[in-house]
Structure 1
């Protein structure tokens, strides 16, 4: 099997997302190939169940994971359930433990990786790193918005591109990345602005993280001004 770098994989994911932009509506959707799945890699796979939530917005990241927390229950079974005469001493008691609740904003650190341009597109990884002392999960799309120096949003909310939605389990210190891309304004002719920061909201959270933007001008209006997001994957996208 030929090995490829994370940068090559990231570019391939983002290029695939750009190819189907014409199929999107303004509200986007959680398109997944073959349905949600759990993956391994830089981050370990999650074990908790997941449900699909509502569309993303600037204030709230869009995930499909439930925050069930860690719960413990007791289930009693018998080798002969229909036999009421089976002695209680022969029955088996099992303890069921459900773990891996979602990562909360306070447990995460956000950053923006280097641009990986290609095919007239500017492609940046939005990276969330688990800074807490426990393992937790992220799933779905982040919320994102460009801000000027006064904190005013520049341009409309980014739109979601189709992608495979997976639950990424983050051990302490591990990261997940989501792609942010837009057409190069010099090629598209879109009206631009230079943001001071990027507001990032983790999936299913309301509290955002602010990251200094060093990526230069971004499209905010006019032709080809849409900014697109792809869902989180394990690693940093580097």
Structure 2
């Protein structure tokens, strides 16, 4: 009996030792698996198209070809519109007597660097040295006014006429100046008057003015 139980115990001890070793090995294997570093996945790179993100075109913007529109508009602005007082010079031409009348051309000359227009009748008034008006405003003579285009340096004229005072017997005065106002303007141009007395009252005292036309006089 003693000899029989010893081998059995020995066998049992060996089996227990083998089982223990297997358990230790299993634990070591699990620990190794759980702590081993996992492969690192490279971050995903996303390429963003700035054009697509903002809605803008990715091709270079086209450059508009130069246009003549602006230049044409500028030229048109310079060639359109009436002449202003500050752009004109006024003169009274030489007297043209005839049939008891005294006739003078009132000449307006474009002194600006642009083309402008005048149309209709100029204003006219005789004044004394202090600026007081002598006589009534001139009467407009019947005519058909037209637009006169004045390039720089060009002129238009209107006729100023009245009956000779020596013949008409009208009351007279000697003006210091004639105030000439371009059509549709408010500021007059002062022109020295050197042609002597003019009618300012009484019979046949009317002074007449005609519409502007191209040139400097008859």
Q: Identify the TM-score tier after normalising by the shorter chain.
A: 0.5 to 0.7
Q: How does 1:88-167 map to 2 (within 5 A)?
A: 99-167=79-147
Larger radius of gyration: 2
Q: CA deviation at 1:176?
A: 0.3
Residue 176 (1) aligns with residue 156 (2): yes
Q: CA deviation at 1:164?
A: 2.4
Q: Could you say which residue in structure 1 is the equivalent of 2:203?
A: 223
User: Contact 1:130–1:171 at 8 Å: present in 2 too?
Assistant: yes
Which is richer in helix? 2
Measured against aligned partners, the alpha-carbon deviations of 1:131-182 in whole angstroms (never above 9, x if no partner) come to: 0000000000001100011111000000101112111100101100000000
Which is richer in strand? 1
In structure 1, what is the Cα distance between the partners aligned to 2:146 and 2:96? 23
Q: CA deviation at 1:193?
A: 0.3
Over aligned residue pairs, what C-alpha RMSD do you find? 1.5
Gap regions ≥5 residues in structure 1: 1-94
Determine helix, strand or coil for the equivalent of 2:109: strand
Report how many residues are paired.
145
Q: CA deviation at 1:222?
A: 0.1
TM-score, normalised to structure 2, is 0.64
Determine helix, strand or coil for the equivalent of 1:186: helix
Larger relative CO (CA 8 A, sep 6+): 1 or 2?
1
Determine helix, strand or coil for the equivalent of 1:138: strand
Runs of 4+ in 1 over 6 A off after TM superposition: none
Measured against aligned partners, the alpha-carbon deviations of 1:60-119 in whole angstroms (never above 9, x if no partner) come to: xxxxxxxxxxxxxxxxxxxxxxxxxxxxxxxxxxx6865421000000000000000111
Determine helix, strand or coil for the equivalent of 1:216: coil
